Amino acid sequence: MKKKTVKKTRATKEAKMLYVTTFLCLISTMVLKIFCGASIGHLSMNVEKLKYDISEQEKKVESLNMQVNELTSFTEVQDVVKNMGLSYNNQNVIMINE
C-alpha cells in the first residue's frame, strides 16, 4: 500500500503581503477611531462650556435690562427732577412710539 503524502501548501508572497496589509489596516483603523473619538469628546466639552458661558451672559444682559427699566421708570425720573430742584411740566413731555 502506498502511503498518502500530505502536501503542505505555503502561502505565496502576494498572499502574505495581503495578510500583513489587512492586519495593518485593521490596527490603523482602530487607532484612528480612538483618536477621532477623543477629539470629538474634546469638541463636545468645548461646545458645552460655550453654551454655559452664553447662558451666563444672557442672564447678565437680562439683569442689566431690568436695571435700565427700573432707572428709566416715571417715578425714578420724578425723583431725580425733584432732587435737582426742577418742576415737572406735562406739556413738555413728548411720547415717542417705538
Q: Binning pLDDT at 50, 70 and 90, where does residue 1 land?
A: low
Write out pLDDT tens, residues 2-29: 677 777 777 788 999 999 999 999 999 9
pLDDT at 98 over 70: no
- Residue 76 makes CB contacts below 8 A (sequence gap 6+) with 70
Determine if the pTM surpasses 0.75: no
Mean of the per-residue pLDDT values of the chain: 87
Residue 32 CA to residue 17 CA, distance in Å, equals 22
